[in-house]
Amino acid sequence: MGYKTTPDGTQIFAQRQLQLGQAQFLRTDDASAALNVDGAAAGTPVPIWDGEGTYWTPGDQGSAETYAAKTGTYGWDSSPTSLGQDSKFDHGDNTDITIYDTLSFWMQPKAYPSGSDLQVLWKTQAGTTKGNVLSVEDYVTNMDLDTWQHVEIPISDFALDADVNKVLFKYASKGGQQFWFDDIELNTSAGGGPYTFRVAPPDDTKQWHLSMAVLLLGGPSSGWNSDAFANIAGGIENGVLLRHRRISTAEVLWSLNSKDNVDLFGRYHPQDDITFADSVLLIGFMIKPGKASVVITDDDVLEIVVRDNLSTISQGRAFAHFGVEEVA
């Protein structure tokens, strides 16, 4: 007895084969941010440069010096500059800066000739300037020499319309400027969770039959391991909740509430773990719904709720694997 096959020779055992797909969980507050974008969430400052840890890579004009530190071991000394030079701090990859509220830093002007302009701006990995170029003088009361000043610039003032990967301090209008910089960081004004990430079809003409949900987490390998899930200090100590929810009635159809150890996930269990050369451990967790039919529509969504601030997670992504059914 012969079987029907697809054009590539695959046997067809059912009346209908569903087109396979994969979708990323996105935050429900803005529908764009992926789970734990850039390793931090609201309420946790993200260091760009503090002279201590390895964060964003400094470069171009200047050098790390002990005498230029506001706190800790090193500060960044721009050294006397020529017109148009800049000091940059490079993230390495394009990243979403708009999830933060402010860019803050300490600076100590050492030389600031009349008519100078210290500017701050963002660029992409390709070197394209994005958003507004701002003058630091607009955010401080003065540019007194040999005095540390704390500067806070709202991210919204940059009017960024794309992901960027480096922040630059540009010495514009006049040469001969010199600054010490320290404790450069991105900040948010609130936080602590919970944060909800949701996946759903784009319209009501399709429904998704869930085959698997995957959660990928990366963090310092010294702080956790593949056998324990929520022992990452400051990371996800309160666990996560995976649930199937009907929005129209606020009804939870099923849920898995995890805390402490991966065994509490039921079938949400660790897969391969990889330790990278920079001492980051990446672990994948997976759940398969088994024989149960889990159908996700524009009303029935799948959600991951994270109750913590994710401060020590360097990477975090979640995906749903599904078959697509067209709805007449």
Domain boundaries of the chain, sorted by first residue? 19-42+191-326, 46-187
Please tell me which residue, 21 or 158, carries the higher pLDDT value.
Answer: 158
Residue 53 or residue 264, greater confidence: 53
**Is 90 exceeded by the pLDDT of residue 87?**
yes
Looking at the chain, how many residues does it have?
328
Reported as a pLDDT band with limits 50, 70 and 90, residue 139 is confident
Q: What is the DSSP letter of 249?
A: G
137 within 8 A of 114, measured Cβ to Cβ: no
Q: What percent of the chain has pLDDT over 70?
A: 73
DSSP state letters, 124-158: -TTS-EEEEEEEGGGGSS---TT--EEEEEEGGGG
Segment 266-291, tens digit of pLDDT: 445 556 677 777 777 777 777 777 65
Mapped onto helix, strand or coil, the DSSP state of residue 73 is coil
What topology is assigned to 46-187 in CATH? Jelly Rolls (2.60.120)
Taking alpha carbons only, the member of 261, 291, 271 closest to residue 215 is 271
Non-local (6+) Cβ contacts of 328 within 8 A are: none
CATH classification (class only), 19-42+191-326 = mainly beta
With beta carbons less than 8 A apart as the criterion, state whether 109 and 196 touch. no
Q: How many percent of the chain have pLDDT more than 90?
A: 31
